[in-house]
Amino acid sequence: MFRSLLIANRGEIACRIIDTARRLGITTIAVYSDADATARHVRMADKAARIGPAAARESYLSVEKILAAAKETGAEALHPGYGFLSENAELAEACAREGVVFVGPSADAIRQMGSKSVAKSLMAKFGVPLTPGYHGDDQDPARLESEAVRIGFPVLIKASSGGGGKGMRRVDARADFAAALISCKREAMSSFGSDNVLIERYIEKPRHIEVQVFGDNHGNYVHLFERDCSVQRRHQKVLEEAPAPGMTAERRAEMGKIAIRAAEAVRYSGAGTVELIVEPSGAFYFMEMNTRLQVEHPVTEKITGIDLVEWQLRVAAGEPLPRRQDELTLRGHAIEARIYAENPSAGFLPSIGKLVHLVPPATSAYVRVDTGVEQGDTITASYDPMIAKLIVWGEDRNAALAQMRSALNAYEVVGVSNNIEFLGRLIRTRSFAEADLDTGLIERERDAILPAATAPTTAQVLVAVAAELAQREATAPVEGGSPWASADGFRIGTDAPQIVAFVRDGERREVFATRIAKGLYDVAAATDDGGAPSPNVTRVGFEALAGSRLRVTVGTTTMRATAVHMGRHLHLFVEGAHVELEVASPLYDAAAAEGDAAGSGMRAPMPGKIIALIAKVGATIEKGAPLLAMEAMKMELTINATRAGVVKRFPYAVGEQVAEGAELVTLEDEAPTGKAS
C-alpha cells in the first residue's frame, strides 16, 4: 500500500476519502482553491496544497496544477473522487508519466467509456443491449434531425460526454427539435468542452438502475449488486436506494452479468458503474459506464458492509479484489437523500450563503451523514451546492423509510434555502412509499411535494411566541441595570401584556403575552380590530435547553423545539417542520413588508454568466416570454418576462458575468396604438 494520497477533489467526497485513507494509515493531502482555503476537507487532511483561484477551470479542473501539487507534496498516489477530473484520461496519463498511482481505471478505459457514442458502439460488439438510437459522428443538425424522425418522437438528445443531466433534453415533436438541439449543444460545450450529442428513443416511464462493478489488474471482476436511481429531477438523481425494489434474483444475476461484460470489454480496473435504463416490461438497455466512484456509493456500502474506497485503494496498489463473487452478499435496505442548498419552490434554484445553523441528525449504525461543510461554512456560487448526503439503513425497505423520515425531521439548516422539507414530502408520497418508481415520479407527484405555501398553524405560532419571549428574557438587563431597558412588560402592581408580532408574506399576526412567572405566560390573540387581547387565553411555558433548543409547553402539550434568530427573522424547528417568521416591532408598518411590488423582478437570481439573448431589442413581448439565458452553478436558467412590454435594452452582453440581483433587461410599456389627435 502507498504511504501518501493526494485527493484531487473537494467537499464531502474529499472528506469521505480522507476517512478511509486515515484508517489505513495513509497520509492524506488535500488541494484547495482560494474559495476553499478554510474548507472542511482542508482542515481534515494531514497536508494541503493551494491550486489556484475559485474558478474550477483554474484550479480543480487543471491537470497541470493538480500534478504540480502531487509532485510538490510527494504524493505516491492520487484519488480523483467524482466530478471535476475524475473521468479525465489526460490526468490518468499524466499520473503514469510522473510515477504517481492513479486510483482509477486506465486512460484507455476512461476514453472508451467517456464518450457515450464510442461506448455504445463498443458495447454493441460485446452483445450488451442498447437503446434504439443514433450514436454516430456526423453532427450535422439536419442529419441529427432526420435520425430523430427515423427513431420516432419523443426522443432524448444527450451530450456524448459528461453526465448529470447536462446537455440533455426530451423532444416531443419535430418542430421543437432544432431549438432543443441548440440548447443541448451549448450546454454540452460549456460543461464538457464538446458539443457532440447522440439521439435515443425516449422510453416512457423508465427506471434508472445501475450496477456497481469492480475489476483488478489480475483479470478478476465482480459486481456488488444494483442501485435504483429512478427518482430524478432534470435528469439529476435525488434519491437512491439499494437493492432495487422488486428486483428478482434472476434479473439481478442477468444485469450483473451484463455489467461485468461491459467492464471486461475495456479491461476495467477499480470501481465503476454500469447504468441501465429499464422499461416497464423489464427489458433493459445500456446507457453508459461511469469510470469512477458514484455519489450514491454509500447505499452499496451499507447493504454489503464493504468500504468501496478501501477496495479502490487496494486495487490501485496492485492487490487482487478482496472477495470473489460468491463471497458477496447483501443485507437489508439503504436509501440516500442528497441535501442541497436550493429552493424547490423557485424551480430548485441553488442558494448561496453562510450556514448560520447546521445540525444534522445523530449518526449511528442506521444513519450516516457524508458532508463537506460545518456550521459557519459558506455555500458559494463557485461549486455544486450540496450540503450533505444522508444515508439510512434498515432491515427492510419499510424500516429504512422510517429511519429516513426520522432523520429528515431532525435535520436543521438556517442560512440558505434547502430541500429538506421537499425530501420529507417526497418519501411520503404514495408512489415512493409503494416503490412505484420511474424517472417521472417527481413530476407525477408534483402537487404533493411542491404544495402551495400555507400559513403556520396556531400551535407553531404559539411555539414561536415562546421562542421570542425566551429571547427577550435572555437579553433582559442584568440586575442593577436600567429598568427602562427592560421589555418584559413590568409595571407597578401588575405586568402589562407584551405585544409579540410576526409577519409572513406581508400579513401581520399579533398576540398579547402576560407574564405569570419567568418562563410562563398567558397568551391571547389580538381581537379583530387589533386593539385588545381576546378573552381566549392559552398558557405557554418554556425552558431553555442547550444551544438554541427549548422545551415548550402549550396548554397541556410539551414539545422540544429549536429557535434560531437571524436578524429580525426567527427560524423555528418543531415536530419536523421548519417555520420562518419575521419578528415585527410594535411600531411595524405593514405596508413596509410589501416591499417594492413595482420592481421588474427580472434580475439575476444568483451570480452567473449570460449565455444567450433570446428576445430582440425593440420586440414587444408578453408576460412569461423568455428573454435571455444565463449559466449559474452548473445550471442553465431562462429568465422570463414578469410583465408585458417592449424590450428596451440588455445591460449585459453574451459572455459577461453578472452579480446576484443585477438587472438583466429593461422593459418599457408598450407604445399605445392609434394616431394622436
Active site residues: 292
The span from the CA of 666 to the CA of 647, in Å, is 6
The span from the CA of 452 to the CA of 366, in Å, is 33
* Structural contact between residues 222 and 214, judged by C-beta atoms closer than 8 angstroms: yes
Specify burial of residue 235 (Cβ count, 10 A radius: 0-12, 13-18, 19+): middle
Residue recorded with cell 407527484 = 445
The beta-carbon contacts of 145-152 under 8 Å, at least 24 apart in sequence, are 145/174, 145/177, 145/178, 145/181, 147/199, 148/174, 148/177, 148/199, 149/174, 151/199, 151/200, 151/201, 152/201
The span from the CA of 244 to the CA of 621, in Å, is 48
DSSP 250-311: HHHHHHHHHHHHHHHHTT--EEEEEEEEE-TTS-EEEEEEE-S--TTHHHHHHHH---HHHH
Compute CA distances 142 → 138, 139, 147, 188, 336, whole Å.
10, 8, 9, 19, 42
Provide the grid cell at 241: 436506494
Q: Which of 573, 465, 575 is nearest to 520 (CA)?
A: 465
| HSE of 624, CA atoms in CB hemisphere, 13 A | 0
The span from the CA of 437 to the CA of 400, in Å, is 16
The span from the CA of 508 to the CA of 582, in Å, is 9
